[in-house]
Amino acid sequence: MLTTKLVDSGVATARIKRAVGAGRLVRPSRGWVALPSADPVLIRAAQSRVILTCVTAAARRGLWDVGDDTFHVAVSPHARPADGIRARIHWCEPMILRAPGTLVDSVPNLLSIVANCQPYEQALTIWESAIRRKQITPDTMRTLPLSARSLRILDDARPFADEGTESILFVRLTWLGLPMRRQIMVLGHRVDLLIGDRLVIQVDGGHHVDQQRTSDNKHDARLRLAGYHTIRVSYWQLMHEWHVVQDLILGAIARGLHLAA
């Protein structure tokens, strides 16, 4: 916390100094104090005089985590972070002003930076995660001064995208040039992706066990009886064995399994 906030709330400067001297508070940097048990990542940000942003802030806010271990931070163009900071530094003015004491960027700001920092596939999954979790709405984002890349992502984002996997699947198959519909209802259940008229692609997450697996198997059987062809893949296959998944889909298309009989 900024020491000025404590002073403004009525805490005497002498009392703050005594707490620091006794070890009840620590000073990450000039003008800051924190409890010894405070989040070490936030302490690091205060020490470095930066704001967590981009994929780092997205993961902290519960959005899709792309697994980037790099520390992404924002610094105003005229500010100076601490010497020796090891991070991906985004030198930019925020769309929405950051209040004094901010250590984690707002969702609109971090999404704007994500759009221009990350590959399209990862950026889209994070934007759709924010929409799905109702941390933003497309209409409110359109009122902000978005970059051309942000506007493209916003136009492509879908509110019912399921935790990133379906977004990744869709982006990787757009080159096919075939009709594709995402998260649509087929025979009473939502499917991740429908290619053409009859090819259903489902991505199983960690929840695909016991009752969920039984329900999905029943739906797969109903789809087969109705003339659909289902390809069901795991999250691991999608992220680490994409060539295998792609070959399965291309093989099904070559056999016309995406077409209505």
Q: Where are the beta strands (DSSP E) in the chain?
A: 51-52, 72-75, 88-91, 180-186, 189-195, 199-204, 229-234
Token couple for 98: 């950051």
Indicate where the chain has its CATH 3.40.960.10 domain(s).
165-254
- CATH number for the domain whose boundaries are 165-254: 3.40.960.10
Reported confidence tier of residue 235, pLDDT bands at 50, 70, 90 = confident
Q: What is the pLDDT of residues 65-109, one digit of tens each?
A: 888 889 999 998 777 777 777 889 999 889 999 998 999 999 999
- Per-residue pLDDT, 206: 56
* Segment 20-38, tens digit of pLDDT: 999 999 998 888 999 999 9
What percent of the chain has a predicted confidence (pLDDT) above 70?
Answer: 95
